[in-house]
Amino acid sequence: MNRPSLSLPAAARARAEARRHTRRWVPWLALVALLGLIGAGFWPRPVPVETAPVTRGPLRVYLTEEGKTRIKHRYLVSAPVSGQLRRIALDPGDPVRAGETVVAVIEPLRPALLDARSRELAAARRSAAAEQVERARAAVRFATNELLRFQRLFAEGTVSIQELELAQWRAEAAARELGVAEGALREAEAALAEFDTTAAPGRELTEVHAPANGAVLRVLDHSARVVTAGTPLLEIGDPADLEVVIEVLSRDGAALTPGTPVELDQWGGPQPLRARVRRVEPAAFTKISALGVEEQRVNVIADLVSPPEERRGLGDGFRVEARIVVWEAEAVLKVPSGALFRRGEDWAAFVLSEGRARLRGIKAGRAGTSEVQVLEGLEAGEEVILHPGNRIRDGQRVRPVRL
């Protein structure tokens, strides 16, 4: 049995009624969508955080300070005699051999260079010394004759023993005065001989030889000039025989022992150099830091262990960055230092657990350059949040991000 079809006007009225019914729900649907968007906007989203794993491995604790290289054994060559120094032909870096290389030549001073007044004074001193010798000889003759006379008188019983002893003392004193006068005469004659032009051509040159193998470090003056005995001329040393002087705080130096490993970086080469502490000097000194703080520092002397072929170009007085290994271990539970922060008197870290940050108290040990030893509070393999700052709270949802 067929249903009766609606007439055309009735169908149009039904469609219009359906449209009106639908339009009544549109505002409500829009309101619900708006509220959903507002709620989604205010719903807490996971905070992106950088994480790192807790690992077990080697850890080294360094004491980093600036150092300066220096040659262990330096030789300051001085003029052994007075005279005219010839021009020094050697330059810094030139090699020398002990006892073979002539580093300087000194000529004797020519008498013509000495003034006439000095010669007259020397001649006058020689004449005075000769006159003093003649007076001393006369005094000796008189004292000797007097002693002989007193000895005869004493034998005859005319003079006492005290008078004889006094005559003996005068004879001995006169003999000593003669010796002093003759020494002064010889000295005056030697001074006058410096002005003897006939003796000058026979005097020999003085050659100064290198006292050790190595190279010339510094020439104080290349020029030819008149020098006196003891005048410094140049420095010699072995550039391969280097040590490092490191200035550290006195409290750090007190904990160092001979044999402590040292790594030298920023010296100009591609690889760090190896060295070992030989001595910590016993006396500290006061130094003002770049911030104006007064510090007590002490010199730490380290010997280079790296062979010379690995440190070509490194010379005397070069700056290096020294990292002294004060503690090291092979299997240490450690985390990056950026994961730890202070929480009162203790250390703490945020651990990533099921998408949330969990606050964990930590017992920290030794601190290296970028890693810290963990004694309690963490296990190997756990993920910790780096640099949490004030934006992370306990229990907050987080999203790990690998940089």
Render pLDDT for 321-340 as a digit per residue (tens, 0 to 9): 999 999 888 889 999 999 99
pLDDT over threshold 60, residue 8? no
> Which residues, other chains included, contact 359 with Cβ-Cβ below 8 Å and sequence gap of 6+?
343, 348, 349, 350, 394
Confidence of residue 278 (pLDDT cuts 50, 70, 90): very high
Q: Which pLDDT score, from 0 to 100, does residue 319 have?
A: 94
- Please give the model's pTM, rounded to 2 decimal places: 0.60
Q: Average pLDDT of 71-90? A: 92
* pLDDT value at residue 261: 94
pLDDT at residue 279, rounded to an integer:
94
For residues 87-93, give the mean pLDDT.
93
The highest-level CATH class for domain 48-56+330-401 is mainly beta
Sign of the alpha-carbon dihedral angle for 277, 279, 280, 286: negative
pLDDT at 89: 92
Q: What is the mean pLDDT of residues 357-366?
A: 91
pLDDT band at 1 (very low <50, low <70, confident <90, very high): very low
First to last CA, the chain: 76
Average pLDDT over residues 282-304: 92
Alpha-carbon span 335 to 373, nearest angstrom: 7
Q: How high is the mean pLDDT of the chain?
A: 85
pLDDT at 111: 56
Mean pLDDT, residues 52-75 taken together? 92
The Cα 242–Cα 244 span in angstroms is 7
CATH number of the structural domain 63-70+239-329: 2.40.30.170
Q: How far apart are CA 97 and CA 92, in angstroms?
A: 14
Distances 106 to 21, 91, 209 between C-alpha atoms, Å: 124, 18, 12
Question: Which pLDDT does position 22 carry in this prediction?
Answer: 64
pLDDT classification of 49: cutoffs 50, 70, 90: confident
Band of pLDDT at residue 47, cut at 50, 70 and 90: confident
Residue 23 pLDDT > 80, yes or no? no
Q: Report d(CA 218, CA 278) in Å as an integer.
A: 27
Mean pLDDT of 15-35: 66
Per-residue confidence (pLDDT) for residue 59, from 0 to 100: 92
Using CA atoms, how far residue 123 sits from 119, 186, 195, 370, 385, in Å, is 6, 12, 10, 82, 96
Dump pLDDT digits (tens) for 123-137: 888 899 889 989 989
Q: What is the pLDDT of residue 199?
A: 45
Angle between helices 116-156 and 161-193 (to 10 degrees): 160
Contact 63, 217 (CB under 8 A): no
pLDDT for position 300: 96
Residue 114 has pLDDT above 60, yes or no: no
User: What is the band of 200 on the pLDDT scale with cuts at 50, 70, 90?
Assistant: very low
Residue 402 pLDDT: 65
pLDDT over 80 at 36, yes or no: no
Task: Specify whether the CB–CB gap between 340 and 358 falls below 8 A.
Answer: no
User: For position 153, what pLDDT does the model report?
Assistant: 86
Nearest of 284, 245, 238 to residue 264 by alpha carbon:
245
Mean pLDDT, residues 358-369:
90
- In the chain, % of residues over pLDDT 90: 42
